[in-house]
Structure 1
Amino acid sequence: MTEPTRSFDDTRRWVTEGTALFTDGLDRLETGDFDADSQLPGWTRKHLLGHVAANADALGNLISWAETGVEKRMYTSPEQRNADIETAATRPAEELREWYVRGTRELDEAMDRLTPEQWAHEIITAQLVTRQASDVPWMRAREVYIHAVDLGVGIGFADLPEDFLLALVDEIRTKRGLSDDDLRAVEGPLPEIAAWLAGRPHQLVGAPELGPWL
């Protein structure tokens, strides 16, 4: 597998394209379909949509931090984040959709306002990792692309761009502590490798089971 690279421009493009794909997934659903299970264990599609909507707001907090210099964390606490998702699952589907659309628009507008100097501002993720604000588009791109698959509406990892999948595989491999030899031991097409590494259903034969991710 070739060594992937990802540029800032790549991540901004992936946010746009991934958001369009996630929105297309939502458009395939009738109102009653949102109460059905997603492909994430224990989550309905309402849980999933609420999570993606809340993620836009949370990443917007990081962009605000970079823009103003005033610290603004993604979430008040992990417990509050989880409680908000559970509350979202009880809300009407159309209300959740409107939240998602509004949050997505506001995040895009906020990112468009940042200067190069502000993109270099340090922020802290929900996992308490210090990164530059320029990593926020990548964080959002992962959310919308992978959760578009999790909606369970017929979108698969094969529908995601190859350059995004290469960057995703590289990141997850590193985070899971897997070597190039570990990957070479598992043969299969790139989308299936990405699904396996992301802890999603896949068609690989003999691939060791991995825990959940994202």
Structure 2
Amino acid sequence: MILNFIPERYLTDIETNGYAVVENMFDAALTNALMHDCYRINPSFKLAGIGRQQDLQIDKSIRSDKTFWFDGSSQAQLDYQAALEDIRINLNRYFFLGLFDYECHYAKYQLGDFYKKHYDAFKGRSNRVFTTVFYLNTVQSGGELVIYKPKSKEIEVTIQPKAGTLVMFESERFMHEVLPTVDVRYSIAGWFRKNTSISGIIDPPR
């Protein structure tokens, strides 16, 4: 698998802005393989929840997309995780973050699906440090990712889903949302995490 990215393409943007948007991040063959993997597991997509473990709940007034957590059942999933492992190492080398691992799931947004404004992490209450969104298909209308300026209602950037584009941003810093979709939208949402296991209590996997 050929990776198209050069670390400096996203490290400098993250250092300056707290986020990066990189088109054509990986070889197109990987993007296509991941898209076909979505078709393979399509019946297994489930309505997305909010929260983690015992706090997980379904609330379609907040989000209505469907997800499938990576389970290592395809070579495409393994290749993608290997590519993100390289990014994790680069982030740790450059920012000394101590990122421990990476978790991710496929996300499918159909007509009218959305995810209202939210943070992926709250200060001192989550082990998620960096959020990633990787787009598997290009849509002509709807489903934009809107990232807001820190502690503000002003928009920082609006990103139209385009196959092969990887978005990364600080999980605690940026509120964001997915606008209602028109065209079906497939992506991979993921998080680089720190290890918060303490006193023999194992950090939850999700």
TM above 0.5: no
TM-score band by shorter chain is under 0.3
**TM-score normalized by the length of structure 2:** 0.27
TM-score, length of structure 1 as denominator length: 0.27
Identify the structure with the greater strand proportion: 2
Whichever structure has more helix as a proportion of its residues is 1
Question: Who wins on radius of gyration, i.e. which is larger?
Answer: 1
